[in-house]
Amino acid sequence: MRKKPDKLILKNINKLFALAKKESKKRPRLSKRYIALARKIAKRSNISLKNYRRLFCHKCNAFFVPGKNCQIRISKGKVSIKCLGCKSYVRYVYKKKK
Ligand SMILES: [Zn+2]
């Protein structure tokens, strides 16, 4: 059985993502560092980053700022995000809510 995530760890992760968002425009390197740290904590304590999964590049840890460091395209029910830093793609399917 999976353990309930520790509240303090979740709080720290939320804080790191908030900081990454704040610094993403002015200091992208610092924001990458925050995301790398948050991912490391989540990995170590077995917490999924489900709310944040699509907010950053999984390859270079860049926080996505639409129109600045990523390109978002929608076609045939799929969303594809291209990271302009490392040229990698993230694709996922979206469904309309009924
Ligand atoms: Zn990237």
pLDDT of residue 14: 93
- Ligand 1 centroid distance, CA of 87 (Å): 6
At 86, which amino acid appears?
Answer: C
Distance CA 77, CA 27 (A): 34
- Domain count of the fold of the chain: 1
Q: 64 is in which domain, residue-wise?
A: 7-93
Structure tokens at 85: 């830093």
Does residue 46 belong to any structural domain of this protein? yes
pLDDT of residue 2: 59
Instruction: Please write the tens of the pLDDT for every residue from 61-86.
Output: 999 998 889 999 998 889 999 999 99
- Ligand 1 centroid distance, CA of 59 (Å): 5
- Ligand 1 centroid distance, CA of 28 (Å): 12
Does residue 73 belong to any structural domain of this protein? yes
Does residue 24 belong to any structural domain of this protein? yes
Which residue carries 């799929």 as its tokens?
78
Does residue 56 belong to any structural domain of this protein? yes
pLDDT of residue 24: 87
- Ligand 1 centroid distance, CA of 72 (Å): 13
- Per run of 10 residues, the mean pLDDT along the chain (length 98 residues) is 76 93 90 94 89 90 91 90 92 77
Q: How far is CA 44 from CA 21, 37, 89, 90, in A?
A: 22, 11, 26, 24
